[in-house]
Amino acid sequence: MVIVVVVVVKVVVVLAAEVVVVVVVKVKIVLAAEVVVVVVVRVGEVVIVVLVLIIIAVVVVVVVVVVVVVVVVVVIVIVEEVLE
């Protein structure tokens, strides 16, 4: 389990190529079942990263929409003030 945890940490902090190298090394030194677990965990980490990126994108879109709405409201208020 310690080795698996180390691999998960490496998934988070290193390039994909290095992670693949680590997994290949594990194939030589551990049981196949453990390798499957590592690969599944690695895929899970990738899914988590993708979800985080999607969440960030949604937040950015929401912020942009809010900014646009605020700008439109400010412009409308200014125009109303000028017309009065």
Task: Return per-residue pLDDT of the chain as tens, 84 residues.
Answer: 444 444 444 444 444 444 444 444 454 445 555 555 555 555 555 566 666 777 777 777 788 888 888 888 888 888 888 887
3-state secondary structure of 24: helix
pTM of the model: 0.41
pLDDT of residue 69: 84
A 10 A CB-CB count for 78 gives 10
Q: Which two tokens stand for residue 8?
A: 């998960």
Q: d(Cα 56, Cα 7) in Å, to the nearest integer?
A: 25
Q: What is the number of domains present in the chain?
A: 1
pLDDT of residue 1: 44
Give the position of tokens 């895929």. 43
> In which domain, by residue range, is 46 found?
2-83
